[in-house]
Amino acid sequence: MATKKFKCKVCGYVHEGNEAPEKCPLCGAPKSEFEEIVEGGAAPKKKGLDTSSNAYTIIYAAVMVILVAFLLVFVSSTLKERQTANVINDTKAQILASLNIKDQADVASAYQNAVKADMLMQADGSLVPYEGEFCTGYSSEYDAGRLHVFQAEVDGQTKYVIPMNGLGLWGVIWGYIALDEDRQTVYGVYFSHASETPGLGGEIAAPLFQSRFPGKIVTSDGQVALQVLKFGKADKTSAYQIDGVTGATITSTGVNNMINKVLTSYLPFLNGACCAQQCCNEDGCEEEQNVESIED
């Protein structure tokens, strides 16, 4: 005769016999957790669907994935605008932080008050206004050869802010360096990072490290001279050397390389302070205009 089958509701163990065992041998569940499996036509499936068949499984997975995909696309596209606004706001707050304007409640208007123009540096070091939309990713702008310089005014003095991008230990780092009108003296800096070690490399985002920059000089003899050295190696009296973060040598080196790489690209601008004022009054500019008119 056919023995009855009992299935453990907890672990799915199937016991064959005339009655359920006292204890499930697999999971130790008591007898009450067993239910009899009635085979054949006596137990029509609840839904009339075989949920373990291949076709059902595949269709189920496909439908689920399509539904979820549509849902995510919908959410993402409805919130996109707000998110972009937040990122722009955050970028502006970072630029302001390099100008030592921090914790502003209304970033947008504070930015408008302080930053007068978003400019692009030309090959000869002159600045032309940037016409496009406000950028949030300056790494790709740098790679595309568009070298942004923000002209800002703080307490009636002109400052220049240069965006920087580089690599730390675990991921990207970025920052903004604000220079005085002489394009040499550091007015303020801001650094941030994607995934540096909290408490070590992450400290480049902390005020302690950033407070070492103001007053330092960026170039010497036409070359970038500002250096971030291993902690304790910097000469305190030097106008060019800055102590890195304790215990975060690789991140500090990353900051050093970032400053060096980016500012080297900006050398024409940094070294152009002396003649920038007179340039347009002199013959050089007129000659250029003449050349253009001939070509026309």
Can you tell me the distance from the alpha carbon of 187 to that of 205, in angstroms, rounded to the nearest whole number?
17
Residue closer to other proteins by CB (options 59, 279) is: 59
Among 19, 25, 26, 83, binds other proteins (CB under 8 A): 83
| Cα torsion angle, 35, 41, 46, 49, sign | positive
Q: Answer yes or no whether residue 288 interacts with other proteins by CB under 8 A.
A: no
Q: CB of residue 68 vs other proteins: minimum separation in angstroms? A: 5
- Asked if 65 touches other proteins (CB under 8 A), the answer is yes
Nearer to other proteins, 37 or 72 (CB): 72
- Using the rule CB under 8 A, is 247 a contact of other proteins? no
Q: Is 45 in the site for other proteins (CB under 8 A)?
A: no
Under rule CB under 8 A, residue 57 binds other proteins? yes
For residue 262, which of 228, 233, 234, 237 has the smallest C-alpha distance?
228
Does 264 participate in binding other proteins (rule CB under 8 A)? no
Q: Is 191 exposed, middle or buried (0-12, 13-18, 19+ CB in 10 A)?
A: buried
Nearest distance in Å: CB 236, other proteins: 24
CA distances (Å), 267 to each of 70, 102, 222, 225, in order?
49, 28, 7, 11
DSSP 204-216: GGSHHHHTTSTT-
Does the footprint of other proteins cover residue 236 (CB under 8 A)? Answer: no
Least Å distance, CB 230 to other proteins, is 21
Stretch that binds other proteins, among 33-41, 127-135, 178-186, 191-199 (CB under 8 A): 191-199
Q: Which amino acid is at 169?
A: L
Please report, for residues 282, 289, 292, the alpha-carbon distance to residue 295 in angstroms, rounded to integers and kept in the order given: 21, 10, 5
Binding site for other proteins (CB under 8 A): 9, 46-47, 49, 51-52, 56-57, 60-61, 64-65, 68, 71-72, 75-76, 79, 82-83, 86-87, 89-90, 195, 198-199
